[in-house]
Amino acid sequence: MDPAAFAPAFAELAQRLQQQELLADFGLFALRGLTLQPVLDEACRVASRGLASQFAKILRYQQAEGDFVVQAGVGWRPGVVGHARLGADLASPAGYAFRTGKPVVSNHLGADDRFRTPHILAEHHIQRAINVLIDGGDTPAFGVLEVDSGERSDFESRDTAFLQGLANIVAAAVERSERQDALQRSEAMTRQLFESSPDCVKVLDPEGHLQRMNVNGLCLLEIDDFSALAGQPWETLWPAAEREQIRTIIEGARTGISGRFEAFCPTAKGTPKWWDVTVGPVMSEGGRIESLVSISRDITQRRHDMAVKDQLLEQKDLLMQEVHHRVRNSLQLVRTLLQLQVLTITDPAAREALQEAGQRVMTVAAVHKQLYVGHSVKEVELQPYLEGLLADLSVSLTDQVNGRRITWTAEAMQLPPDCVTSLGLIVAELVTNALKYGIGQVKVAVQMADAAVRISVEDEGPGFPVDFDPGRSHGLGMRLVTSMANGADGVHVDRSGGTSRIVVDLPLP
């Protein structure tokens, strides 16, 4: 055979071998590339050489605009690469390749009914074009790699294999670049968070050694030079008394458990400070604990404010105690003076009036006592008040009691102090009357009745006289009772049980 007959096959073989070599070299270049643009530029040079064409370009798809921009290229006039934009619709060869994912070979652009000839190609007298997709993997496709020619013989379908191989390497480089960008953005955000925190943020290794500290942390701890502390155990920053606690919380964080505590620790320059400290693990994607993060908030001012508040509360309590003490001393004075006055008077009516006045002082004092004992100055527990009041009455009216029992029942309730004072005066008046004029056991009962507190006092007498009308009584005690019950309608005699029973409804405020 004529050796010349093999010449085209040898030429073809040589071209494919060169393409393989170019791909291998480019693969290495792309792997070593730290940034994307040089990889794209080199891809265009390799495409141009591999297909022996003057023009090559990479068109990056612009999502927002819906078109391509010439991201890299060789052979083009100045002003095209980096600026020129082309349509990405199906009527352009590049758009078709991008949208269908299929390589496009067009050897007669001007006569190809499928496509229009883009303006830039016409300007450069391009007759033939070959386009392949630069895929995006998990993300939208990056764009198209295109080789153009106005001189060479037709592109062949086998050329697409070389060009697609090249585009796939570019796609891998794009993906790696995007991941790096995302990582850098994430790191930048983390760094920004780290530095913008107003608290003292420290990164520790899993053993609790200091790795990094944010600038605000250095200021808060009054540390001029972190390098002297880097690598030191974190616990060495703390007073000896706190170190065991630090070790425990680091141990917990190392097992994945976050911890929190409040403790005192002076700064590097000795300024006393209190800290609210949180320590937690930082996990890798594989679930391994890579480091620990400690966030210490300066709570010195809060602690100070709390101490001041406690001191003020203590002072308030002391002041209240003093006021109560003074009031009760004054009540003692008045009560004893009235008692002494009784002994100097012989007129029985006057003596009785003074004794009643003394009893009313004790009734008022009993309310004061319950206000002091209780937790609230706005409400008084009725039951202990009533119990204390009747015990005092029994002592002060010893002569009248003379062995008779005074019993009481009352619903558990809390009432405003003014209401309780009125209730106490009513009970004291009615019990005094029962002891004076009645017979046998005296029963006191207090219960709620609609919008009033119902007070009944009963003794074992035969009942009040038929003409007894408590609302028209001229005695001070019954006048007080009627007045506090909001008039005569609030006081009535109960004759239903055959005993002496009087019922008073004290309106609630």
Partner 1 sequence: MPSPSAPCLLLVDDDPLVRMVLTMGLQDKGFDVTEAATGEAAMMLMERGLQPMAVVSDIDLGQGCNGIELADWLADTYPDLRVVLISGRLRPELTSSRNHRSFLPKPFIIEALVRLLQH
Q: Which helix (H) or strand (E) segment is 307 a member of? A: helix 300-344
Which residue, 255 or 398, is less far from partner 1 as judged by CB? 398
Residue 335 binding partner 1, by CB under 8 A? yes
Residue 396 binding partner 1, by CB under 8 A? yes
In order, the DSSP letters of 213-267 are: E-HHHHHHTT-S-GGGTTTSBGGGGS-HHHHHHHHHHHHHHHTT--EEEEEE---
Which residue, 23 or 342, is less far from partner 1 as judged by CB? 342
Which residue, 326 or 472, is less far from partner 1 as judged by CB? 326
Interacting residue with partner 1 among 29, 261, 274, 372 (CB under 8 A): 372
Interacting residue with partner 1 among 328, 454, 479, 492 (CB under 8 A): 328
Residue 363 binding partner 1, by CB under 8 A? no
Long-range contact pairs involving 38-46 (C-beta distance under 8 Å, separation at least 24): 39/170, 39/173, 39/177, 40/71, 40/72, 40/170, 41/72, 41/74, 43/72, 43/145, 43/166, 43/167, 43/169, 43/170, 44/72, 44/73, 44/74, 44/145, 45/74, 46/22, 46/166
Interacting residue with partner 1 among 373, 448, 476, 508 (CB under 8 A): 373
Q: Single out the segment in contact with partner 1 by CB under 8 A; choices: 98-106, 239-247, 358-366, 495-503.
A: 358-366
- Distance of closest approach, residue 335 Cβ to partner 1, in angstroms: 5
Residue 116 binding partner 1, by CB under 8 A? no
- Distance of closest approach, residue 396 Cβ to partner 1, in angstroms: 5
Quote the CA–CA distance of 85 and 64 in Å, as a whole number: 13
Which residue, 396 or 433, is less far from partner 1 as judged by CB? 396
Residue 505 binding partner 1, by CB under 8 A? no
What is the distance between the terminal CA atoms of the chain, rounded to a whole angstrom?
128
Which residue, 300 or 339, is less far from partner 1 as judged by CB? 339
Q: Single out the segment in contact with partner 1 by CB under 8 A; choices: 51-59, 208-216, 356-364, 413-421.
A: 356-364
The 275-314 site mask, x for binding partner 1 (CB under 8 A), equals ----------------------------------------
Task: Count CB-CB contacts under 10 A for residue 316.
Answer: 10
Which residue, 375 or 474, is less far from partner 1 as judged by CB? 375
Owner of token pair 């609790």: 208
Task: Count CB-CB contacts under 10 A for residue 435.
Answer: 20
- Distance of closest approach, residue 329 Cβ to partner 1, in angstroms: 5
Long-range contact pairs involving 270-278 (C-beta distance under 8 Å, separation at least 24): 271/222, 272/300, 273/220, 273/298, 273/300, 274/298, 274/299, 274/300, 274/302, 274/303, 275/200, 275/299, 277/249
Residue 325 binding partner 1, by CB under 8 A? yes
Please give the order of strands across the beta sheet that includes 274-283. Answer: 210-213, 200-204, 289-298, 274-283, 259-264
Q: Which residues lie below 8 Å from residue 504, measured CB to CB, with a gap of 6+?
A: 426, 430, 454, 455, 456, 481, 484, 485, 490, 491
Q: Single out the segment in contact with partner 1 by CB under 8 A; choices: 89-97, 200-208, 231-239, 319-327.
A: 319-327
Site residue total, partner 1 (CB under 8 A): 28
Interacting residue with partner 1 among 227, 255, 346, 398 (CB under 8 A): 398
Which residue, 436 or 472, is less far from partner 1 as judged by CB? 436
Name the nearest CA neighbour of 136 among 100, 176, 182, 103. 176
Name the nearest CA neighbour of 377 among 386, 390, 368. 368
Residue 319 binding partner 1, by CB under 8 A? no
Interface positions, 414-433, toward partner 1 (CB under 8 A)? none
Residue 321 binding partner 1, by CB under 8 A? yes
Residue 340 binding partner 1, by CB under 8 A? yes
Q: What is the dihedral of CA 306, 310, 312, 318, to 10 degrees?
A: 180
Residue 392 binding partner 1, by CB under 8 A? yes
- Distance of closest approach, residue 411 Cβ to partner 1, in angstroms: 25
Interacting residue with partner 1 among 193, 219, 313, 337 (CB under 8 A): 337
Interacting residue with partner 1 among 84, 174, 361, 453 (CB under 8 A): 361
- The phi and psi torsions of 453 (rounded to 5 degrees) equal -100, 125
Name the nearest CA neighbour of 419 among 310, 505, 302. 505
Which residue, 399 or 450, is less far from partner 1 as judged by CB? 399
- Distance of closest approach, residue 336 Cβ to partner 1, in angstroms: 4
Site residues (vs partner 1, CB under 8 A):
321, 324-329, 331-337, 339-340, 343, 358, 361-362, 365, 369, 372-373, 392, 395-396, 398
